[in-house]
Amino acid sequence: MLTLRPYQREAVEAVYRYLREHDDNPCVVIPTAGGKTPVLATICTDAVGLWHGRVLVLAHVKELLQQAADKLQAICPEVPVGVYSAGLGSRDTLAPVIVAGIQSAYRRASELGHFDLALVDEAHCIPADGEGMYRTLLADLKRINPRLRVIGLTATPFRMTSGPICARENILNAICYEVGVRELIVQGYLCPLVTKAGKDKAETDRLHIRGGEFIAGEVEALMDNERLVESACKEIVQQTRERRACLIFASGVPHGNHVAEKVASLGQRVAAVFGDTLDDEREQSIADFRAGRLKYLVNVNVLTTGFDAPNIDCVAMLRPTMSPGLWYQCCGRGFRLHPGKQDCFILDFGGNALRHGPVDALKIKDRNGSSCGEAPAKECPNCQSVIATGYTVCPQCSHEFERNRTRHDAQAGTAGVLSGQVSVATYPVQEVTYAVHVKRNAPPDAPRTMRVEYKIGWQQYQSEWICFEHTGFARHKAEAWWKRRSSEPVPDTAEQAVALAVDGALCETKSITVRSVAGEDFSRIVGYELANAATPVAEPDESYRDEPEPEYVPAEDDVPF
């Protein structure tokens, strides 16, 4: 039986819960390299095996299609999987699970037939409006089966020009589950990133924007400067002496060729792959890069979404972008774990980290151009590390920043460099939810707790467990927690506490202060700002610790679609 990580199991359960409780379409957000395919495979297996349904898996590039088909067959060999893709030379229409390329399938709904579920990988590629391939195909499939449900999976639930992908009027309507980059790093599922700006950076102030992105020709003209190419390549080679695999993103084909030529002139083995590179040449270069026979690989808009090379321990961005999604996808190539890999070094020559924020705290704009997050980063003038704005001393080189004593318009951000540093940050609370928590594998009479979950940003949640049914210090702490927030008597059970909390017995929590240490399993709440408190409330530096999740066991109940 497929064993899921705790967050993957929670994602599957959240999908089923959403499908049962709503009549529209959910989206699951899991970071790049966090393992969306096991979630997808589990849903396919349950849909076919438990509920006798039929599933269509959609993706937009053949690498993703091949990857999905291979992993589905490896993870759930008992489920027949067919492929419908001109690029892969297959037109299977009969299998209970069909993996299809959107370009091949979007006018072939009648040929593909009846489906109960459509799963869209990299769901941020669904256009915000207009017809488009996804909208055309899904509309035709709904004519065949009006009860068709769509499930999106993505690491970046937003578009460059129109903001979040989930809205009432869109194909995907709500995020039913999301887990953040930092959370998976501290739990050991993703590789930490260390971000540094290039010493000789391009000045992007004069670049013009069209359709939400810098004009491509202007970007290449700016970056393909002989002095800048030479300086950047020398710095890349120097900074990556101890690195094993460096993926370089260039701004255009001529620029990419010049970068490859310069790296080669410095005595390094390098290859370049572009959109028009011959398939055999591309596959050989990628194979050599993955195998460690090639240290540097240059590309232009080729090796982003869907490219999987776990040994990448450096990403060099020789292109500025206005797209937070592209910045995330490029950096995400280094998220995967690999033997001997301690972290991934992001060397940014385009000012992207300062423009968008680190990848665990992206600054996203909605359709109206207003910010949906912060970019909590600054560059150390001494070592060029890109770090959280809250640091007064650089954690990399110990440079002491000059304190701004006049005005503080922006709140100090969370840890921008994922490098194991201790950080204490205060977050506005957007939403609070309460639930009864039963300790796994506990006997029936074991005490339960109330789980309190605070939503503090995009992909960011912080939980705590209040132990009303325990004795001793745990009960004393729970009583103190309750009395700060309510005039109601302290409940005796977690179920009573949740019922009272849901009915509004607790005062509003305006913000929480969280202490995080990369490498520790959990961040801890160390303070609160309550609506009825004159000053913030500090908490003991203690938290309820949980046990590992069991393997996923599908629920044998009603069909969720």
- Contact present, 354 and 416 (Cβ < 8 Å): no
Residue 544 covered by a domain: no
Query: Structure tokens of 252?
Result: 């255009």
Domain end call among 152, 179, 206: 179
- Tell me how far CA of residue 551 lies from CA of 7, 178, 225, 548, in angstroms: 11, 20, 54, 9
pLDDT digits (tens, 9 = 90+) for 329-340: 899 999 999 999
Residue 174 sits in the same domain as residue 203: no
Which amino acid is located at 409 in the chain? D
CA distance 250 to 299: 6
Query: Structure tokens of 538?
Result: 């500090």
- Contact present, 376 and 413 (Cβ < 8 Å): yes
Residue 410 sits in the same domain as residue 448: no
Q: What is the C-alpha R_g of the chain?
A: 25
- Contact present, 300 and 317 (Cβ < 8 Å): no
Residue 435 sits in the same domain as residue 405: no
Residue 74 sits in the same domain as residue 160: yes
Residue 459: its pLDDT value, please? 59
Residue 247 covered by a domain: yes
Domain end call among 363, 393, 418: 418
| Helices 216-223, 253-265: crossing angle, 10 deg rounding | 20
Q: Look at residues 148, 88, 77, 86 and name the one whose alpha carbon lies nearest to residue 113.
A: 148
Residue 172 sits in the same domain as residue 194: no
Return the residue matching tokens 């579920």: 117
Residue 554 covered by a domain: no
Consecutive H or E run containing 436: strand 431-437
- Contact present, 357 and 413 (Cβ < 8 Å): yes
- Contact present, 121 and 156 (Cβ < 8 Å): no
CA distance 332 to 281: 24
Residue-by-residue DSSP string for 399-442: PBPPP--S---S---S--S-SS-EEEEEEE--EEEEEEE--TT-
Over the chain, what is the mean pLDDT? 83
Domain end call among 159, 179, 199: 179
**pTM score, whole prediction:** 0.67
DSSP state of 440: T
- Contact present, 137 and 119 (Cβ < 8 Å): no
What is the CATH classification number for the domain harbouring 288? 3.40.50.300
Residue 433 sits in the same domain as residue 413: no
Residue 285 sits in the same domain as residue 346: yes
Alpha helices in 92-209 (DSSP H): 102-105, 109-112, 132-144, 181-186
Counted domains in the chain: 3
Q: Report the DSSP beta bridge partners of residue 317.
A: 249, 348
Residue 363 sits in the same domain as residue 502: no
Residue 194 sits in the same domain as residue 89: no
pLDDT digits (tens, 9 = 90+) for 160-209: 555 788 888 889 999 999 998 888 988 899 998 888 877 877 788 889 99
pLDDT digits (tens, 9 = 90+) for 55-100: 999 988 777 788 788 888 888 888 899 999 988 888 999 999 999 9
Residue 546 covered by a domain: no
Residue 379 sits in the same domain as residue 249: yes
Q: What residues make up the domain containing 484?
A: 427-538
pLDDT digits (tens, 9 = 90+) for 431-480: 899 988 887 677 888 899 999 999 887 657 788 999 999 988 888 899 99
The yes-or-no verdict on residue 47 having pLDDT over 80 is yes
| Residue 393's pLDDT band (cuts 50, 70, 90) | low
Residue 508 covered by a domain: yes
Residue 344 sits in the same domain as residue 434: no
Residue 66 sits in the same domain as residue 172: yes
